[in-house]
Amino acid sequence: MNRRLMMGAAAAALTVAMTPAAMAQEGYVIGVSNTVQGNGWREEMICAMRAQALVEEDVASLIVAHRNTDSAGQLEDLNNLIEAGVDAIVLNPSNPDALNSALEAAMEAGIVVVAVDAGVTAEGAYILSNNQEEYAYLGAKWLFEQIGGSGDVVYMRGIAGVSADTDRDNGFKRALAEYPDVTVVHEVFTGWQQDQGKQQMFDFLATGIPFDGVWTSGIDNVIVDAFVESGAPLVPIVGADNAGFVEDLLTVEGLQGAAVTNPGSVGGAGIALAVDILNGNPPDSTTVLVDPVLWENATDAGRAMIEAAQNPNLDPEWPVSVTIPGWTDYSMEQIIACDGPA
């Protein structure tokens, strides 16, 4: 795999003891913990984990805890994975600090910990994430320029307290500081739930308060739907590279927008990283960031990029960037099938 070219020379010195569960199955047992169901990005993340585990010859099985819960529930799931004797845990953390007791206990037991999508503060844990601050900065900067550097915008965030949302807020505010004549007229947390975000946009449109653009934290095609269904005049909208929004950028008349890449396939990359570490090939740093790219439909060159990325075979809520070069090895068919090892 190309990712192994990224590993440091010190890797050969690292060894990780196999747990009894792994030795019994002649392969690694990897635990997965996720706290949001029903969100297309998270579902793609889980499918990427399963697909990557399937093609990793050193992985015997996955134990997946995938449900809607809070930090207390995730702590319970993590402790159950530790009790099961997994070799590694790959998690999307609900909070950067609240899980430390379980993560520290896991690492004390020789279990590799990899957080994906968002960071944790437990010392020794690895983090593999899309660069969330840059994600927000790129989209916000494009939006503010698109409205002429002055005006009112709606700011639709994710989940309060989750580090990915905090990082994005930092990026959004970094761009906002560069455009002092742009004002946030309405700020809301969508919970990264499609129905909730759509209803929040319906509710704000019903107030009649004017605004010039919308920045969304990956809840995007349903925001376009809210405009179309309510008959409200379209404004520039920024979202993620979700298949439905990418299609909207090409097909909805009058829509100007930009999609910033935020691959859910970072989950598969997290599985790959865990296997590398278990095999004695850690990265030089405990933090690995995937840089985003912005695709916009306001120029011919931008539309050409969107057309090349479009994928009608995907669920509308799945990001079209279903792989991460150098990290994931599964096929399109394998991630869509969402099958993992036993």
- Pair of tokens at residue 43: 């579902």
Q: Please give the single-letter amino acid code of residue 291.
A: D
Q: Write down the pLDDT at residue 120.
A: 94
Residue 65 gets which letter from DSSP? E
Burial of 286 (0-12, 13-18, 19+ CB in 10 A): middle
Q: Write down the pLDDT at residue 25.
A: 55
Contact 118, 168 (CB under 8 A): no
CA atoms of 274 and 100, how far apart (whole Å): 18
Q: What confidence tens digit (pLDDT) does each residue in 81-131 have?
A: 999 999 999 999 999 999 999 999 999 999 999 999 989 999 999 999 999
Segments of the chain scoring below 70 in pLDDT: 1-25
Q: Write down the pLDDT at residue 26.
A: 81
CA atoms 50, 248, 154, 142: torsion sign? positive
Give the residues across from 112 on adjacent strands: 88
The SS3 call for residue 185 is strand
CA atoms 54, 120, 239, 136: torsion sign? negative
CA atoms of 175 and 182, how far apart (whole Å): 10
Residue 12 gets which letter from DSSP? G
29-59 in b/e form (b: 16+ CB < 10 A) is bbbbbbbbeebbbbbbbbbbbbbbbbbbeeb
Query: Helix and strand tally (H, E) in the chain?
Result: 12, 12
Q: Write down the pLDDT at residue 61.
A: 96
Q: How far is CA 328 from CA 3, 115, 270, in A?
A: 9, 16, 9
CA neighbor of 324 nearest in space, from 129, 115, 46, 65: 129
- Pair of tokens at residue 245: 């929004």
CA atoms 124, 128, 132, 135: torsion sign? positive
Strand pairing category for 237-240 and 213-216: parallel
CA atoms of 341 and 49, how far apart (whole Å): 10
CA neighbor of 143 nearest in space, from 57, 11, 235: 235
Whether the full predicted model's pTM is greater than 0.75, yes or no, is yes
Contact 298, 249 (CB under 8 A): no
CA neighbor of 212 nearest in space, from 177, 247, 181: 181
Domains of the chain: 2-130+263-290+321-337 (3.40.50.2300), 132-260 (3.40.50.2300)
Q: How many CB atoms lie within 10 A of CB 96?
A: 20
Beta strands in 117-252 (DSSP E): 126-130, 151-157, 182-189, 213-216, 237-240
Strand pairing category for 257-260 and 294-296: antiparallel
